[in-house]
């Protein structure tokens, strides 16, 4: 509940902020269903707190659970009501070539919004058709993501443009994507069908990092190394 212009911050707002702070400080408690449900319920009510407290330090799981129960009781009088809500299962997809901090931040944010996260890795064929050839092959990209603690399931052989049938085939209820445009090779907004059907979750894109940029740096490094190896004047410098 947000305070009106005539009201000051309520006791509930203070409790909610305290809980969000505690939850965001914890990075290893996603298995706790009470915390998952409470966080998902409150995340949309105070996005400013969510954004400003993301990088806080660790806190014990039992303290998180206590805050979660307190907030739920403040909202509903009974924390058990959370368990009656529909489980949110999110499908998140992408190329994930040369996985970097932006990819992992996207996965983390999507997992924070859900009870279960399925990550779909686009095929080599689909990636080449839309963005060009990848550096890592499909199975390599998927295997790296399987070692990310925020993923519950990683699947391959996925289309670049998912539809409702795609996410339903994985038992998912929502599709998540960053706040950057996502247009397929036919000029179609990939997210539109999910928005229209109330099945879309939005998270913030990580600025300043991309596979394209990393690839360009690798090409520059390869060119530099090739120059050093093929130019006789550089032999002495290489030996030193």
Sequence-ordered list of residues with C-beta below 8 angstroms from that of 99, at least 6 positions apart, any chain: 141, 144, 145
d(CA 196, CA 66): 37
Range(s) of the domain holding residue 70 = 11-84
The predicted structure's pLDDT at residue 119: 98
- For residue 10, pLDDT over 80 is answered with no
- For residue 183, pLDDT over 90 is answered with no
The predicted structure's pLDDT at residue 159: 92
The predicted structure's pLDDT at residue 74: 61
Domain boundary among 84, 104, 123: 84
In a domain, 155, yes or no: yes
Tens digit of each residue's pLDDT (9 = 90 or more) over 38-75: 666 555 555 544 544 444 434 455 555 566 666 666 65
Are 201 and 220 within one domain?
no
Are 35 and 63 within one domain?
yes
Are 94 and 203 within one domain?
yes
Domain boundary among 52, 84, 116: 84
Phi, psi of 169 (to 5 degrees): -65, -20
Are 190 and 129 within one domain?
yes
Are 58 and 94 within one domain?
no
CATH for 203: 3.40.50.620
Are 104 and 180 within one domain?
yes
Are 146 and 237 within one domain?
no
**Is 126:94 a contact under the CB 8 Å cutoff?**
no
In a domain, 6, yes or no: no
d(CA 78, CA 190): 39
Are 95 and 32 within one domain?
no
Cβ-in-10-Å burial (0-12, 13-18, 19+) of 11 comes to exposed
pTM for the model stands at 0.62
- Looking at the 3D structure of the chain, how many domains does it have? 3
Phi, psi of 179 (to 5 degrees): -85, 15
């Amino acid at each position: 509940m947000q305070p009106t212009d005539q009201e000051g911050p309520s006791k509930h707002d203070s409790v909610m902020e305290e809980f969000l702070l505690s939850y965001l400080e914890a990075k290893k408690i996603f298995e706790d269903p009470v915390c998952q449900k409470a966080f998902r319920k409150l995340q949309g009510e105070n996005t400013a707190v969510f954004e400003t407290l993301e990088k806080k330090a660790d806190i014990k799981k039992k303290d998180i659970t206590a805050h979660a129960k307190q907030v739920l009781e403040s909202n509903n009088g009974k924390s058990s009501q959370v368990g009656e809500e529909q489980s949110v299962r999110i499908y998140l997809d992408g190329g994930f070539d040369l996985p970097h901090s932006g990819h992992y931040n996207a996965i983390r944010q999507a997992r924070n919004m859900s009870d279960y996260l399925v990550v779909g890795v686009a095929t080599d064929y689909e990636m080449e058709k839309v963005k060009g050839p990848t550096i890592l092959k499909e199975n390599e990209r998927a295997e790296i993501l399987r070692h990310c603690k925020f993923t519950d399931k990683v699947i391959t052989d996925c289309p670049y443009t998912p539809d409702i049938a795609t996410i339903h085939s994985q038992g998912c209820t929502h599709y998540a994507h960053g706040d950057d445009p996502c247009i397929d090779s036919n000029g179609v907004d990939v997210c539109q069908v999910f928005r229209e059907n109330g099945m879309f979750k939005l998270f913030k894109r990580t600025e300043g990092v991309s596979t394209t940029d990393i690839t360009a740096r690798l090409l520059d490094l390869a060119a530099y190394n090739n120059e050093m190896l093929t130019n006789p004047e550089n032999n002495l410098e290489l030996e030193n």
